[in-house]
Amino acid sequence: MAGSFAEIRPNHFHSGLDIKTGGKEGERVYAPNDGYVSRINISAWGGGKVLYITHPDGYRTVYMHLSQFCGAIGQFVHDYQYSNHTYAFDIELPKDSIRVSKGQLIALTGNTGGSAGPHLHYEIRLADNDQPINPLLFGLEYTDLIAPTIAGIKIYPASNDATIDGKNGTFTLLSKQLPLYDTLTVSGRFYTGIYTYDQHEPGSRNKNGIHRIELYIDDTLFYVYTVSTFVFDETRAINAIIDYPHYQRTREYYIISRHLRGDRNNFSTAYRNNGYIHFDDNKIHQIRYRAIDHKGNYAQQTLYLRSVPGQSTTGQANTPAITATGEPITYFKHFRLEREGFTASIRPYTVYENDMLSYRRTKDNLSVSDRHHINLVKHPLPPHQSFDIQMDIPQGIGSEELDKMTIVCINGKNVSALPTTVEGNKLCAQTRSFGAFAIRLDTVPPTLKAVNFSNNKTLKSNRITVKISDNLTGIVSYSCHINGEWQVAEHDGKTATLSVDARHLRKGTNRITFRLTDAAGNATEQTWKINR
């Protein structure tokens, strides 16, 4: 496996198994049971070419990153794309419209969508609500004789007067230090985190997710983390159970014992004090982590902590004092921030803990409005769900410019255009990020560039490929015509290309036209003559 079930990914759990295919595409995929095709989804990102099969036992299997659909499924996809003049689509099919039998060839593996290399992403879900379940619970066999790796343990002070080894800062023990370090001193309230991963074969570069983590305090079970199933709506809660700032910097996911009150997940359980630890004595205590994979192989690490009375602190505070300008936000209540030209409306359980929402306003020479910055102060985590943004339309804007306006979210060098609508004198959007928000104009059409052919030259490839890009709002539609006839252009988001099967060319000179349109309505069309 190149990826395990519930492995931590940016803002979500991995919902299936990534099965290696030897670095090549075109491996055969067979139906594991009788059933019918219930959904087909094709996109440039995400799962790429995705097939859903619903089975009579109440389960649904899902196959992602496919290169090709086979048999009646492939014919349906071909007919749908040409009838609707679209490459990308997402439709549910009527029950039994395309039946499959156990052992039937249904598809070939590939590398489509957001895949980082050829493989098959395989899922098992409950058919009635699409809740994914670990496929390894259904008897899939694989070899794993290797125990998980505990790569690091962190100890975090939970308040400004708590100390770890005499300092009010996070203390990190890496794997090479773990067996050597003796006893740490602690005072005040703290919590812990562990970075652990699993590998199924010697020399593997894949750091797969862990099946179960147990934390014992003086040999008493204190905290458990395990994920055998989850609900998609709750998957963003992973941001609340990992050291999120560290993950953003390194992609190392320290799973932490602390449980925030607005985090309603059921895959981590703290049996006391919401996962915070406090020793109010002058004794040595044992902290023991145990990391277990699905085959029962385990690794464990024991630390010894001496509890000491509170003492003066040195170093930087781990938990910042709430001193920034802002307003208190309660995790279980609706919150509305109103400033001149800007409104944010945040639903209950969008943030994971009571906090302060800071606000400031700055100039932005690239935008037609100022930037409005909103950020959480104490727990700077992404919101659990989207919230609403409204911004006043700048004065003096004409109807043509209004159609080109979009609200953007700015985080560092990242600028994301949000789907934007007009309501009266306001622009409205939804966002799943805190950060800076501004209004920008998109008047620049998308761009096209030939990759493997030249005008009035003979094509030597079996595909016709163009590079596509857009400066802001993103390409929302595209088409390709060869000699006036519409043809399927496959969109690959990873390479930002459109490609067309060269078998559609006739002998002699062909006229091929690509057209792109972005979300602001800007369009580009370019025609080449290609010889065959």
Residue 424's CB is within 10 A of a number of other CB atoms, namely 9
Could you tell me the CA-to-CA distances from 294 to 147, 196, 216, 235 in Å, in that order? Answer: 10, 14, 20, 21
| Across 238-267, average pLDDT | 94
* CATH superfamily of this structure's domain 17-133: Glucose Permease (Domain IIA) (2.70.70.10)
Topology of domain 326-441, CATH: Chondroitinase Ac; Chain A, domain 3 (2.60.220)
Topology of domain 447-531, CATH: Immunoglobulin-like (2.60.40)
What is the per-residue pLDDT for 321?
37
Q: Which long-range contacts (CB under 8 A, 24 or more apart) does 45-50 make?
A: 45/113, 45/114, 45/493, 46/113, 46/114, 47/112, 47/113, 47/114, 47/121, 48/110, 48/111, 48/112, 48/113, 48/114, 48/115, 49/107, 49/110, 49/112, 49/113, 50/113
Q: Does residue 292 contact residue 210 with C-beta atoms inside 8 Å? A: yes
Q: Which of 297-311, 339-353, 429-443, 482-496 has the lowest mean pLDDT?
A: 297-311
Q: For residue 313, is pLDDT > 70?
A: no
What is the per-residue pLDDT for 323?
42
Residue 434's CB is within 10 A of a number of other CB atoms, namely 22
Q: For residue 409, is pLDDT > 80?
A: yes
Q: For residue 218, is pLDDT > 70?
A: yes
Residue labelled with tokens 């040409």: 82
Of residues 182 and 360, more confidently modeled: 360
The residue among 41, 27, 159 whose CA lies nearest residue 92 is 41
Q: What pLDDT, in 10s, does the model give residues 122-134?
A: 999 999 999 999 9
What is the C-alpha separation between 197 and 211, in angstroms, rounded?
9
Q: Where in the chain is the domain with CATH 2.60.220.30?
A: 326-441
The residue among 239, 159, 166, 208 whose CA lies nearest residue 17 is 208
Please report which confidence band the pLDDT of residue 109 belongs to, taking 50, 70 and 90 as the band edges: very high
What is the per-residue pLDDT for 482?
97
Residue 412's CB is within 10 A of a number of other CB atoms, namely 7
What is the C-alpha separation between 178 and 381, in angstroms, rounded?
29
3-state secondary structure 153-176: EEEEECCCCCEECCECCCEEEECC
Q: Where in the chain is the domain with CATH 2.70.70.10?
A: 17-133
**Helix or strand holding residue 152 (H, E):** strand 149-157
Q: Where in the chain is the domain with CATH 2.70.50?
A: 149-307
Q: Which of 100-114, 159-173, 345-359 has the lowest mean pLDDT?
A: 159-173
pTM of the model: 0.91
The residue among 532, 498, 492, 531 whose CA lies nearest residue 515 is 498
Q: What pLDDT, in 10s, does the model give residues 27-77?
A: 999 999 999 999 999 999 999 999 999 999 999 999 999 999 999 999 999
Q: Does residue 52 contact residue 95 with C-beta atoms inside 8 Å? A: no
| pLDDT above 70: percentage of residues in the chain | 96
Q: What pLDDT, in 10s, does the model give residues 320-373?
A: 333 445 799 999 999 999 999 999 999 999 999 999 999 999 999 999 999 999
Mean pLDDT of the chain: 93
User: Rg for the chain (alpha carbons), in Å?
Assistant: 27
Q: Which of 138-142, 230-234, 314-318, 493-497 has the lowest mean pLDDT?
A: 314-318
Q: Does residue 416 contact residue 408 with C-beta atoms inside 8 Å? A: yes
The residue among 213, 222, 202 whose CA lies nearest residue 286 is 222
* Exposure string over 494-512, b if 16+ CB within 10 A, otherwise e: eeebbbbebebbeeeebeb
What is the per-residue pLDDT for 312?
45
What is the per-residue pLDDT for 325?
58
What is the per-residue pLDDT for 179?
63
Instruction: Tell me if the domain spanning 149-307 has CATH number 1.10.1760.
Output: no
Could you tell me the CA-to-CA distances from 505 to 461, 465, 510, 529 in Å, in that order? Answer: 12, 13, 7, 11
Residue 77 DSSP class: H
Of residues 114 and 310, more confidently modeled: 114
What is the per-residue pLDDT for 275?
96
Residue labelled with tokens 């000179």: 509
What is the per-residue pLDDT for 314?
40
Q: For residue 315, is pLDDT > 70?
A: no
What is the C-alpha separation between 305 and 314, in angstroms, rounded?
19
Q: For residue 280, is pLDDT > 90?
A: no
* Exposure string over 254-278, b if 16+ CB within 10 A, otherwise e: bbbbbbbebbebebbebeeeebbbb
Q: Does residue 329 contact residue 337 with C-beta atoms inside 8 Å? A: no
Phi-psi region of 15 (alpha: psi -120 to 50; beta: other; left: phi over 0): alpha
What is the C-alpha separation between 246 and 8, in angstroms, rounded?
14
DSSP 209-273: PPSEEEEEETTEEEEEEE-SB--GGGGGGHHHHB-HHHHHHH----EES---TT---SSEEESSG
Phi-psi region of 26 (alpha: psi -120 to 50; beta: other; left: phi over 0): left
Q: Which tokens is 65 given?
A: 């990153």
Please report which confidence band the pLDDT of residue 401 belongs to, taking 50, 70 and 90 as the band edges: confident
The residue among 470, 488, 493, 459 whose CA lies nearest residue 78 is 488
